[in-house]
Amino acid sequence: MARIPYTIDTFPVTLDANAVNALPVAKIKEGWHVGSPGMGCFLDAPGFPSYYLQPVYDARGNTPRGAPGAVLRGTDGAYHVVDTLRGRDALLRSLYLPLPVDHPRVQAWIGEVARHMAHCYPDWTPGSVEALEGLASEKPACWWETADEKPSPETCPGDRSINRPHTAAHCQWCGI
Ligand SMILES: [Zn+2]
């Protein structure tokens, strides 16, 4: 799912700016462009760097020879190289500032993972963690991936990245 790129003013609280800025600066050649953020991030923890990784494309939408596998924007305004193959997980982890486990974003993510598990494996139960059952029964929502707080129905922007505005019937972003 494509996401809106962050700006320097809205640099994610879950990214270590110094560590991102210390990565090699990517050379984006003429004719290349940087795609929407979000690479291999399905069910990753809230604000994990995978949500912010951006692919590099040529005019035909292919990955150009010699281009970085993915880039991350630093607070210096530059795109930095993230190798998506070897050692990707360790590298992303080194850029990550996890939220506390009792943070609302983390709790919403746990509910989403529980719901996903229950959907894929109907016989699976959260076991002794009874709170998961309550979380998993809430409606699907994905605000926690990149937003700091769950929006109210009045303030919800909807899922702008896929052009789906908030509706009272069902909103994928806030889960109302
Ligand atoms: Zn909404």
pLDDT tens series, the chain, 176 aa: 567 889 888 899 999 999 999 999 999 999 999 999 999 888 999 999 999 999 999 989 898 988 998 999 999 999 999 976 667 788 999 999 999 999 999 999 998 988 888 788 777 665 545 566 666 667 788 899 999 999 999 999 998 877 888 988 888 899 88
Do 109 and 63 share a structural domain? no
Q: Is 167 among the domain residues? A: no
**pLDDT at site 12:** 96
Torsion of CA 10, 49, 133, 103, to 10 degrees: -40
CA distances 149 to 28, 105, 144, Å, are: 34, 7, 7
Q: For residue 162, how far is its CA from the centre of ligand 1 (angstroms)?
A: 13
The rounded Å distance from CA 39 to ligand 1 centre is 23
Looking at the structure, tell me whether residues 108 and 132 fall in a common domain: yes
- Residue 65 per-residue DSSP state: T
**Cα 146 to ligand 1 centre (Å):** 14
- Same domain membership, residue 76 and residue 133: no
120 and 92 assigned to the same domain: no
Is the entire prediction scored with pTM above 0.85? no
- For residue 115, the model assigns a pLDDT of 84
pLDDT at 162: 78
First CA to last CA distance, the chain? 20
Question: Does the residue 174 lie in any domain?
Answer: no
78 and 114 inside one domain: no
Alpha helices in 22-168 (DSSP H): 88-94, 104-120, 131-136
What is the structure's pLDDT at 138? 72
Q: Are residues 92 and 110 in the same domain?
A: no
State whether 81 and 13 are in the same domain. Answer: yes
Are 41 and 122 within one domain?
no
* DSSP letter (8 states) at residue 93: H
The two three-digit tokens of residue 46, written as one number: 């809230």
How far apart are the C-alpha atoms of 125 and 132, rounded to whole Å? 9
Res 8: pLDDT: 80
Instruction: Give residue 74 CA to ligand 1 midpoint distance, Å.
Output: 29
pLDDT of residue 76: 95
Q: Are residues 47 and 7 in the same domain?
A: yes
Ligand 1 centroid, distance to 141 Cα (angstroms): 8
Q: How many Å apart are CA 162 and CA 175, to the nearest integer?
A: 15
Q: How far is the CA of 14 from the centre of ligand 1 (A)?
A: 23
Tell me the residue range of the domain where 39 lies. 1-98
Q: Are 136 and 114 in contact (CB under 8 A)?
A: yes
Q: Which residue has tokens 């210390």?
A: 22
- 77 shares its domain with 142: no
